[in-house]
Structure 1
């Protein structure tokens, strides 16, 4: 019996038509299209078939599920070896007519029920492996050898998975339940949404057993063999009318057309889809180094600062807060040099050569959330950090902070509360002790955190997490009227978190953590505050360093720190340590790489 399926993701009914696939692949259990042919998987082998239907090569394997990504005439496929319960990467060259099995991925410790590929905006290729008990892993396939990026939890009894590279969405078919959508990018918070579920929550009889990503949406075969379609609509999906029964498999041909398999053959399915235009990807820069992870799990690392060695730039230090423990000090290779267990520190900022009369200090100031106070640290000429003072504040929930050297000497500190209050403190020194007094007060309408003071211009930039970036005067004698510089929305996505200033002879820039889309926005530090662009921090495959996401604090300097950091460095907190999974850390990025990515002066 000929099955006709009418799909319309635009609610348009099309006349059915059949287009047979080549006879050599018509009875394959699974199919994956190549630019000039097919990979066809049957119970005995994976076969390379050209566009004319001629078998060019085969790879003996009792396999299940095949997925492929192609570029430059060569394709990378994966297939599950059902005997060994391992995933085998396979290089397929359609022009040469060759299949070359690569070493299988390392054993996972669980039986693999489903596997699929993902190619991200950086053009790196990953494999997702899913077990029947909900265990799953993501592996990076680029580089000298595969690397496990992360472990993740998926539903039990996964029958199939597929990834929409354009939207970074991992679709999972769960037997008895339905289709789920996950964030495919390992960076950032895990997220799951239901696409279509079994009764009483939806209409998928016995859940889902097969998947195919189509332009603008996804198609699934339920446990009864009926097809269901969804079109992507923002962060959700809308259903479409579907007809047809007895379908056991789904695939996409080289032209993006849907194929469905019944118990006899593969058939073309008419499809009318309005593709969802993905947002243009942001430029990607790679970290040059990363710090050792902090010593506490969960949301622990928060804010970095940079101290430049006065004689040996390569001996400079990165300070980082652990809001479950204290202050960490790292060298430029990321090795931990000190740990000061001073309590739950949130933000930290550094100023060097601070004058108090005849005395001069390199100082770091951090907010301590246990006792709602400021902790002041001295930094010796060799980079050794020591606690110098604990300065009480009037705040109830101290949060963010930044410091400023006023023209008359001493140090000013701007500290904020979660309720929006800002206190401007003047830090002085008397009888060999540091003191602090309030010299100005102002507030934001909602929760702030990051701020940075520009001593060259006398401006104070303030981040309000949900609303955007503001500017006011850093001078205690002036009115602290806030003016909006860049509202949240567009390139800058809430939460607005860490802020730093890159100061150079030619031009200065403000760098802001756009936590809502795991990116960093760069704009001029002078009116009219022209936005220069945004970038993401991606994976450094060669050095085995993962990217950065959900960044809280950051710091940037234009100081020559030697080596790749001759024009300065950006340090960011990484909210999700991957490759392998672990506690949070900080990533070090060369300013030269950012300047090239955004075309900066």
Structure 2
């Protein structure tokens, strides 16, 4: 089994991975082969890798070899040369030019260089830093926000993703985004940009598909496996990605494999014999009106071949492209590894907004406080805090303080903190025990009457509503109402002005109800899990300004955020992602648990408010989890909000 599922692969495969593997097993007998006509091409050229020029109107080809990077016409005549010795090759359109990436064999470094195919001129190369592992292959990827990346495929399962540009510009220096565990004998990769899929070979096992997004989880699904578990007879070699499909070479069997994607699975379409070739390598493919055109190299004799095949995969439906909004600041990473950071709250300074603070929970440590640039100001190691909320003007004996309340998973209680209204300093202010067996979420409700209520929920769906009071200087909680939902909740937020509670049921959607303790706990649906909101439903926050009230919801299942009206009929205003900010060296946000938003003018970039989201996968560089700070003005612009 270790040959099929190496140690760096999760053995507990998700359902869609199992379906993909079953598809491989069920389709091991390929269908009748489409016709393929191969003929020698450019026989005098020494090549390690070949590629077609990208772009619908492009007719030239590129070659990487010991004589350099060569621009060729469709007859194989040399048009231009970039001197050196090179291996591996991939391209993308870069404005009017072509971006070429290859591996400098002498320096053992990946490089990027632009090519003007009209003027036949090469630009100045950009080298990635030398790695501490041998690089076998590389490939390019452009994401939905037009960020450009290079994937490096190394020996012993080493892989990396590097940010190298945005739009039509290269970034210097390149920035390492993340490490990626790959198969131990991987040699090559390809990316299908629109589907955000990275394909990597494992020579003695098969071909794999990975999510290519820089914020994606490092998981994989099988495209095809070696016999007896699939239709690959000998070796999974080079591959080429097309919309909805993949072509792969088995060099030892001299066969071309064709695969069609169907939902999350891959179905073998045909095995095509490569007659006359003994060890085909370096596959390049481009679509034509009637099929696809191929370029191959025979490693046995070093010759190049071209041909046409009368087959095209059927494009599959793609996830919608969402607008990306960048964070312009981020908190320092939390002091615990793993799933630690969880939920933020924003305390607004009553007189000097620039001195406001972002509170954040570390569910392995306690409560944290940051300034608006993300600098850590305070740590209160009070236990495993999950969610936190804050309200101003709480009567603590003879004093008026602002109060933060957090759910404490160590003691299944509410942990209370006073906030000094002048300095913003947090102090422990007491604890309210609850009968919940596994306390989870918390949110506060402060109606016009001046009372303060806390809603606490447990993983079993139970909600408890407490009235908080401290007339004698000691904070107490009086249980005034309880209700429940059918499955696990967490995030909730109260609309103090309209006396409404919004609460999330992770696998179901968002509900609303009357927040007043003396009213029936009747649930009404706001939005259900579906095309726009993907489970888990996590953080929920309320933006209120000049009559424009919006709910912001963490759609954890697809690393996005849904914005909808906070009043009936709860129209969806749009969905967005928090993408990476290359200039500020801030990665995007993914797998977000909690979030918070305020409309207060906090000055500067925060003049129209601040959105803070927890980042479940901290990258660029890879560190412990943290919180990302996003100007609300940029969210409003991206979604066309007033």
**TM-score, normalization: structure 1?**
0.95
Structural mapping, 1:5-404, within 5 Å: 14-17=34-37, 23=42, 28-34=47-53, 35=55, 36=58, 37-50=60-73, 53-142=76-165, 143-224=171-252, 225-245=254-274, 246=277, 247-253=280-286, 257-263=292-298, 264-270=303-309, 271-355=311-395, 359-381=399-421, 382-404=423-445
CA displacement at 1:242 relative to structure 2 = 1.9
1:524 aligns with 2:571: no
RMSD: 2.0
Q: What SS does the aligned partner of 1:176 have? A: coil
CA displacement at 1:550 relative to structure 2 = 0.2
CA contact (8 A) 1:162 1:213 kept: yes
Corresponding position of 2:17 = none
Measure the CA separation in 1 of the matches of 2:483 and 2:138. Answer: 55
Corresponding position of 2:578 = 537
Q: What SS does the aligned partner of 1:367 have? A: strand
Distance 1:379 1:242, change over 3 A: same
Measure the CA separation in 1 of the matches of 2:355 and 2:402. Answer: 15
Measure the CA separation in 1 of the matches of 2:154 and 2:330. Answer: 32
Measure the CA separation in 1 of the matches of 2:392 and 2:71. Answer: 65
Alignment deviations for residues 210-251 of structure 1 (CA, whole Å, 9 cap, x no partner):
110122111111242211121111222111122213432310
Measure the CA separation in 1 of the matches of 2:75 and 2:637. Answer: 46
CA displacement at 1:311 relative to structure 2 = 1.6
Measure the CA separation in 2 of the matches of 1:157 and 1:356. Answer: 65
Measure the CA separation in 2 of the matches of 1:339 and 1:207. Answer: 54
Q: What SS does the aligned partner of 1:430 have? A: coil
Measure the CA separation in 2 of the matches of 1:188 and 1:557. Answer: 28
Measure the CA separation in 2 of the matches of 1:575 and 1:414. Answer: 25
Q: What SS does the aligned partner of 1:491 have? A: coil
- After TM superposition, the structure 1 stretch with the greater mean CA deviation from structure 2, 24-33 or 529-538, is 24-33
Measure the CA separation in 2 of the matches of 1:355 and 1:303. Answer: 25
Structural mapping, 1:425-574, within 5 Å: 425-574=466-615
CA displacement at 1:358 relative to structure 2 = 6.2
Alignment deviations for residues 132-159 of structure 1 (CA, whole Å, 9 cap, x no partner):
2111111100223100001121001112
- After TM superposition, the structure 1 stretch with the greater mean CA deviation from structure 2, 499-508 or 258-267, is 258-267
Corresponding position of 2:20 = none
Measure the CA separation in 2 of the matches of 1:544 and 1:316. Answer: 24
Corresponding position of 2:456 = 415
Alignment deviations for residues 308-354 of structure 1 (CA, whole Å, 9 cap, x no partner):
11121111100000000011100000100000001000000011123
How many residues are treated as equivalent by the alignment? Answer: 592
Q: Give unpaired runs (5+ residues) of structure 2.
A: 1-29, 166-170
Measure the CA separation in 1 of the matches of 2:389 and 2:474. Answer: 20
- After TM superposition, the structure 1 stretch with the greater mean CA deviation from structure 2, 305-314 or 401-410, is 401-410
Q: What SS does the aligned partner of 1:494 have? A: coil
CA contact (8 A) 1:327 1:345 kept: yes
CA contact (8 A) 1:137 1:152 kept: yes
Q: What SS does the aligned partner of 2:180 have? A: strand
Alignment deviations for residues 269-318 of structure 1 (CA, whole Å, 9 cap, x no partner):
31232222423201111111101100111100000000111121111100
CA displacement at 1:408 relative to structure 2 = 2.4
Distance 1:481 1:471, change over 3 A: same
Measure the CA separation in 1 of the matches of 2:564 and 2:622. Answer: 33
CA contact (8 A) 1:328 1:336 kept: yes
Q: What SS does the aligned partner of 1:133 have? A: helix
CA contact (8 A) 2:396 2:474 kept: no
Q: What SS does the aligned partner of 2:130 have? A: coil
Q: Give unpaired runs (5+ residues) of structure 1.
A: 1-9
CA contact (8 A) 2:43 2:304 kept: no
Corresponding position of 2:19 = none
CA contact (8 A) 1:27 1:266 kept: no
